[in-house]
Amino acid sequence: MRRDEIPTPALLLDLDRFERNLARMAQHVRATGKALRPHAKTHRCPDIAKQQVAAGALGVACAKLGEAEVMARAGVRGLLITTEVVPAASIRRLTRLVGEAPDTMVVVDHADNVRALARAAAEDGVRLDMLVDVHVGGRRTGVEPGEPALALGRLVSEQRALRLRGLQGYAGHCAHVMGWAARRTASHAAMTPLMETRARFEAAGLPVEVVAGGSTGTYDIDSELAGLTELQSGSYCVMDLEYRRIGGREREALTDFEMALTVVATVVSVAVDRAMVDAGLKAFSTDKPFPPEAVERPGIEYGFAGDEHGRLTLTDPSRRPELGERIEFFPPHCDPTFNLYDRVWVLRGAKVEAVWEIAARGRSD
């Protein structure tokens, strides 16, 4: 099948760009002496995870247990579940998962959760590898840094069925700070308490073999931290409009990684003042305050116009879209865009090289 035969709307991955992104990040972590465990919440696709591992990643980070189950079943190892696993039934699923994929790690930020995990692991005869999730600002999950984190680390290390491996601190609020210098200032401020907590763990004899954090926005900022062992950056593999606009170290846009993900749509209606494509708010992420952007097609502006419609406003009336014309768009935010599709069409130029299943799509459980 060829690029122009794929039924629309569809999610497309440019393999050349994707491979260059993987190579670029592999080179960066090698040069800075860090490991990489990229976030699979970006793509939810085991085939992409395997390519990342083949390019040197330790495994992948998973936002949810459901994602990790899919990755493990597909043969991906080196999993880190970055959100606390709390319900009793979920903890049971976790011990089963660890039975299959023993090097899986999970984060924890509450003493009750530590005790529940320890009990279940002991009952089910597995050992759970744990990171203490530290709150580094952003008001999401994580125990407060310093003494509270240390106390939780001690509690983990006292449980026979648990094995403390180190720390996680994810500064999501820094990932999209506009401008590299401002982002660096924000991320260093956020991550400093994590580094101080690391020092306390070391002084107390607690393990810090893994200290994980970082986003695509801070991949070349957090790698400056001597105490960070691995990056969790995810979006770098395909990029999106949101990350592109935050700015890079040397350029106004973040162009260190290439825009490898597009949605292709078809013009299904034309009128004097507009053209409509068959891709609306079920075809793109809608969580950002800016719309999809046409690729290599200046003179048109996309606007959401319902579940299944996008309205093209023509800023260059000399190049009017035709009925049936196919147009590709960059999505605003890659993670929730991937999560709308069952598959991604993998292209080498005009040729469909593969169709990869987004097997963990919808697996937020």
Three-state SS string over the chain comes to CEHHHCCCCEEEEEHHHHHHHHHHHHHHHHHHCCEECCECCCCCCHHHHHHHHHCCCCCCEECCHHHHHHHHHCCCCCCEECCCCCCHHHHHHHHHHHHHCCCCEEEECCHHHHHHHHHHHHHHCCCEEEEEEECCCCCCCCECCCHHHHHHHHHHHHCCCEEEEEEEECCHHHCCCCCHHHHHHHHHHHHHHHHHHHHHHHHCCCCCCEEEECCCCCCCCHHHCCCCCEECCCHHHCCCHHHHHCCCCCCCCCCCCCCCEEEEEEEEEEECCEEEECCCCCCCCCCCCCCCEECCCCCEEEEECCCCCEEEEECCCCCCCCCCCEEEEECCCHHHHHCCCCEEEEEECCEEEEEEECCCCCCCC
Contact status: 96 vs a copy of itself (CB under 8 A): no
- Least distance from a copy of itself to the Cβ atom of residue 87, Å: 5
Nearer to a copy of itself, 55 or 310 (CB): 310
Q: Could you give the string, one character per residue 28-57, with x where binding to a copy of itself holds by CB under 8 A and - elsewhere?
A: -------------x----------------
Contact status: 124 vs a copy of itself (CB under 8 A): no
Among 201, 341, 345, 356, binds a copy of itself (CB under 8 A): 341
Interface stretch with a copy of itself, choices 118-126, 219-227, 243-251, 260-268 (CB under 8 A): 260-268
For a copy of itself, the binding residues in 133-192 under the rule CB under 8 A are 135, 139-142, 144, 172
- Least distance from a copy of itself to the Cβ atom of residue 288, Å: 9
Among 54, 86, 204, 354, binds a copy of itself (CB under 8 A): 86
Contact status: 73 vs a copy of itself (CB under 8 A): no
Contact status: 102 vs a copy of itself (CB under 8 A): no
Contact status: 273 vs a copy of itself (CB under 8 A): yes
Contact status: 231 vs a copy of itself (CB under 8 A): no
Interface stretch with a copy of itself, choices 30-38, 150-158, 186-194, 336-344 (CB under 8 A): 336-344
Exposure of 281 by Cβ count < 10 A (0-12 exposed, 13-18 middle, 19+ buried)?
middle
Contact status: 285 vs a copy of itself (CB under 8 A): yes
Contact status: 64 vs a copy of itself (CB under 8 A): yes
- Least distance from a copy of itself to the Cβ atom of residue 281, Å: 5
The footprint of a copy of itself (CB under 8 A) covers: 5, 7-10, 41, 63-64, 83-87, 89-90, 109-110, 112-113, 135, 139-142, 144, 172, 266-271, 273-274, 276, 278-283, 285-287, 304-309, 311, 323-324, 335-336, 339-342, 361-362, 364-365
